[in-house]
A and B are shown apart, each in its own frame.
Chain A
């Protein structure tokens, strides 16, 4: 606890402090201790569609080519991924062979599909039997709607690299419209066949899973998000960043803090990355920065930095999950400057600022000084100014292993390749 209090003191010194809320914030933080937001994430799709591969790349620092070594997933491979200080993803990697699928839909139905926060369904674009894939998808979706109506659904059209570049858009659009059609059908089926199920309440008391049902929820609809992905390029990071984005607690706070930092140091763009996966947690762009024609730059940066991390790890011979670099500085003459540095325990920050030596150095110092604003990303401490918004947002301030290097230590079922 002493740790906690000292950091609270540090946070109080942060520029955003409003002393009025301090005491109550401390109380709130105390109350929320040890509560980590948990999210059940189902990863499903046909056998061989690439579920385990993408999971290994995003969360276990595999290289795309290393995923060849992965065997078929048997039954459900459960892993707990700690993301930032206060979010744990319970990742259910569900083996996709038909026998397993049937099992999920029958015996294990309630076990698998209740309390789901997110369903990620992976389609293999090269699949020969699209109709069958879609039929399974409809079944899975109905089960999901039945048990976890508020779950978000992400559909990834995977292995896009196998389609010739000029054909990609067309093939993808075609598949998306099919999936959307089937999604509607699935919803219609559930609505018709089992209207009573829709009235069923969620089992209460699981933090973070779903809020109370809103009155309109009887009008069932699924907010489907579809992405084209490939493990060989940045598209995978785009999809996963979107998936993660909605799950991160205190997002509003992060965004406001990032914006004030950006304005203070006169940056063009700031990206905040999670330490291990290098997924973009939050971003801020100045008005000038909005003119950047590269709309895919966020996932691109994730991809670049992650592969850079691999390169460093290969060179130094240290494990891939370990921290690999700090203080990446880059000054591109009179056009821009940029630095990437370790920010809080769980995050890296990328700052793109206008050129100029003096500007660069002061920005670096200021970013380092702003660390205390973001202490809450590591778990236990809630910045006072932020507390009110945060509680309103319904998120939980949480106590992780403070100062610990938690990361993905708790993860099961992986060994680093080689």
Chain B
């Protein structure tokens, strides 16, 4: 997804993108992008598009839509603003589109739509559909599982019908929400019901394939984070490569399970190839929480100069930076049950590897740390390479020259 607006009209076809950037996932994004571009050109008669708009280009956008009071704002507050779930009671209803920008390993925009407005059938507002949907990575449709969801499913199928012609590449994700009140066994039944209803609605309109994914979610447990993880993973270029790196790390260190977390949101952006389970995700994500809390309490205030001088003086005689092994956070913890260690290592400001280790491997931590060092280096390089546009903007002039 190159966003070089200056050369859009002429040189695009003549200068193919460097091959190494194209993966199925990024190809997908790329296709969406080109599609949008064509449409923009058609409308504006081949003119260069408004220079103010590409500012947001390259940031995949997540749309949160659904009926009113289905829990959209609660979801975005809990996941992206760390609001304690029980305080979502006090949230006011959303009156206008709430746009959040998320600065993380990848920049996201989250748009929270007011539920009472139907953007397709509303004569009062004429929404610029292109402005809304042109850069959408995923559309998240929230269905309140504790409510009658027939209207929600009806509206969703309308949205799908409206979108499938112009924007067929938007991932549609359905969050069957507020399942915390339902019994464990009943949750999958509800999800199935929702799926059937949508399939019926779409079937009536001649759409046979159901091109969307369903997640049972609740803000009171980890399911909402897990669902978001799945959504975001779809948008990551070269996800397979990341997964392969983690799988490799697991094999060399005998990890049971490893996750790569986005620390701020507790969304995991990749995991190794072993089957995913809720239990290991929960402990790893709570581990990240504990680390964040510790860091906030003990690491967020400046120490005095004397403190530093004393620590760097006799008998150490070197700056604190040289006295530590790792620039970022590293942590281990041993579960008393079967002596299984869990480890965490920050890759950079945003990402951390969290892994559950085999029993008794605490003694091997030095070797494991070395392996993890290598993996961290690899990941850093990976993100250097796959970084969107910024890096390309630098590369492009050279290629053109």
Contacts and interface: CB of A to CB of B under 8 A. Distances in A.
Interface stretch (A26-34, A291-299, A402-410): A291-299
A229 to B, nearest CB: 15
Interface in A105-122: none
Contacts of B283: 311-312, 314-315
B301 A292 contact: yes
Interface residues of A, number: 49
B280 A315 contact: yes
Contacts of B303: 288, 291, 354
Contacts of B296: 294
Nearest to B220: A65
Contact of A328 (B325, B333, B337): B333
Contact of A327 (B298, B326, B330, B334): B334
Contact of A332 (B86, B299, B334): B299
A352 B298 contact: yes
B5 to A, nearest CB: 39
A357 B321 CA distance: 11
Interface in B322-338: 323-338
Contacts of B327: 333-334
B223 to A, nearest CB: 14
A301 interface: yes
Interface string A311-330: 11011111000111111111
Contacts of A311: 282-283, 286-287
B336 A356 contact: no
Contacts of A182: none
Interface in B308-350: 311, 316, 320-321, 323-338
A269 B298 contact: yes
B316 A297 contact: no
A300 B316 contact: no
Interface string A338-376: 100000000000001011111100000000000000000
A335 B84 CA distance: 28
- Interface extent on B, as a size class? 35 or more
B367 interface: no
Given A316-B337, A325-B333, A327-B362, A334 B324 contact: yes
A272 B326 CA distance: 28
B328 A333 contact: yes
A164 interface: yes
Given A333-B327, A333-B329, A334-B327, A324 B282 contact: no
A161 interface: yes
Interface string B265-300: 000000000000001101100110011011111110
B316 A356 contact: yes
A322 B336 contact: yes
Nearest to A65: B220
B87 interface: yes
A307 interface: yes
A239 to B, nearest CB: 19
B186 interface: no
A100 B293 CA distance: 43
B257 to A, nearest CB: 11
A258 B330 CA distance: 27
Contacts, number: 133
Given A324-B335, A332-B295, A338-B298, A291 B316 contact: no
A353 to B, nearest CB: 10
A291 B301 CA distance: 8
B293 A304 contact: yes
Is chain A's binding surface mostly helix, strand, loop or mixed?
Answer: mixed
Nearest to A304: B293
Contacts of A335: 299
Contacts of A324: 335-337
Contact of A331 (B280, B301, B329, B338): B329
Contact of A165 (B87, B316, B320): B87
A318 B290 contact: no
Nearest to B306: A288
A194 B301 CA distance: 55
A248 to B, nearest CB: 24
B307 interface: yes
B14 interface: no
Contacts of A304: 290, 293-294
Contact of A297 (B297, B328, B329): B297
B279 A315 contact: yes
B90 A325 contact: no
A316 B90 CA distance: 35
A211 B283 CA distance: 48
B307 A357 contact: no
A323 B153 CA distance: 47
A358 B315 CA distance: 11
A331 B331 contact: yes
Nearest to A354: B311
A268 B362 CA distance: 26
26 contacts: A65-B220, A292-B301, A293-B301, A301-B297, A304-B290, A308-B286, A311-B283, A311-B287, A312-B283, A315-B282, A315-B335, A316-B337, A316-B338, A325-B334, A326-B336, A328-B331, A330-B330, A331-B326, A332-B295, A332-B299, A334-B321, A334-B327, A354-B303, A356-B311, A357-B323, A357-B325
Given A316-B336, A324-B337, A330-B331, 19 more contacts: A161-B86, A232-B84, A291-B301, A292-B297, A304-B290, A308-B286, A308-B287, A312-B335, A315-B279, A315-B280, A325-B334, A329-B331, A331-B324, A332-B295, A334-B324, A354-B303, A355-B324, A356-B323, A358-B323
Interface of A: 65, 161, 164-165, 232-233, 268-269, 288, 291-294, 297, 300-301, 304, 307-308, 311-312, 314-318, 322-336, 338, 352, 354-359
